[in-house]
Amino acid sequence: MSHLKEDVEEPTEQNRIKRPPTLPYYVPTPVKPFGPPVVTVRNVGKAYNIRGRDDTVVALKNISLDENSEFYSIHQGEFIMIRGPSGGGKTTMLNILGTIDKPTSGQVYLFDRKIDSESTDSELAQLRLESIGFVFQTFNLLATLSAFENVELPMTILGKLTKKQRRKRTLDLLKSVGLQDRIMHLPSELSGGEQQRVTIARALSNTPSLLLLDEPTGDLDTSNTIQIMDLIMEINLQGTTCIMVTHNPDLECYADRIFYLQDGTIKKQIINTRQTKLNEVKYSKYLNLKDELLQREQEEETE
Ligand SMILES: Nc1ncnc2c1ncn2[C@@H]1O[C@H](COP(=O)(O)OP(=O)(O)OP(=O)(O)O)[C@@H](O)[C@H]1O
């Protein structure tokens, strides 16, 4: 089954278009083609044992993302968002897709490689280093290394480039995220938005096929949130598959497809026929207006 954009133009009840890209704070982006499936999930479950107690927490129940089913596989170049209530299993799912965690049952196929409870830690570590980039809410930069050294490190560990090639790629990456003037800064000398840019540059250092992002804008203000989302979308439009967890419903417009996870299962998915960006000025106005209305409502209630 093909899942090119044209195939999903007609919304069904299940795959309805969440929002047409016509609201004033949306900026449409070019329609892009998708490649073959790169992430397939079959009957994945995850149960955590509670230390010191004869008890388990079931975080994921029988999740499948499979061609020919409603929740089809993730295709190369897709931008996926995972949303849902706290404790629903979003981070657990992202960690399993990123091989940071292994499923208790079922299998994940990443670029045709099978990952299950039998996969070895060293095999998964190599797969992560070569093919997967990670961006977290809390930046996770090494505090004693400069922006340059943080970005260069994964390339040094992988050992495929010469020192000269690494240096050029590091500078190119820092330039691509707009940090050419902050190369020697330590993380503590950078703003939150700048630190997240370094994290994104570092995540891209080994040219990953898959970029996983867990609340990448959770600690950022509106302006930085939009700048970081625009940057992630640019990376996605160049062909990198992105899977992002977020609590912010206003960011859904950046995604091609959104999964809603609750109680460890996918409750529904939404397909956007077209990705859109947020226009910072108009979106900020909309947020201010929303705040004003909320404040007025509260004042009226207390009168
Ligand atoms: N290491 C762990 N040990 C035990 N239970 C865990 C562990 N990690 C997660 N859980 C439990 O698994 C369930 C899913 O957690 P998860 O972090 O995936 O949810 P989430 O949707 O990402 O939540 P949030 O939005 O609050 O970050 C929760 O009930 C959580 O308490």
Instruction: Identify the burial level of 68 via C-beta atoms within 10 angstroms of its C-beta, where 0-12 means exposed, 13-18 middle and 19 or more buried.
Output: exposed
Tens digits of residue pLDDT in 68-124 = 788 999 999 999 999 999 999 999 999 999 999 999 999 999 998 999 888 899 999
Could you tell me which residue, 30 or 199, shows the higher pLDDT?
199
CA 133 / ligand 1 centre spacing (Å): 21
60 CA closest ligand 1 atom index: 14
CA distance 228 to 258: 19
Cα-to-centroid distance, 108 and ligand 1 (Å): 19
| CA–CA distance, 172 with 179 (Å, rounded to integer) | 10
pLDDT at 28: 66
pTM of the model: 0.87
What is the 263 CA–ligand 1 centroid distance (Å)? 10
pLDDT at 220: 84
- What separation in Å is there between the alpha carbon of 60 and the centre of ligand 1? 9
Chain segment 210-260, per-residue pLDDT in tens: 999 999 998 888 888 998 899 899 999 989 999 999 999 999 999 999 999
**Candidate of 44, 46, 48, 136 to mutate for ligand 1, largest count of ligand atoms within 8 Å of Cβ:** 48
CB of 57 sitting under 6 A from ligand 1: yes
Determine if ligand 1 sits within 6 Å of the CB of residue 104. no
Nearest CA to 75 out of 209, 218, 246 is that of: 209
Q: Are 82 and 267 in contact (CB under 8 A)?
A: no
| Predicted confidence band of residue 52 (pLDDT cuts 50, 70, 90) | confident
Q: Could you tell me if the ipTM is greater than 0.90? A: yes
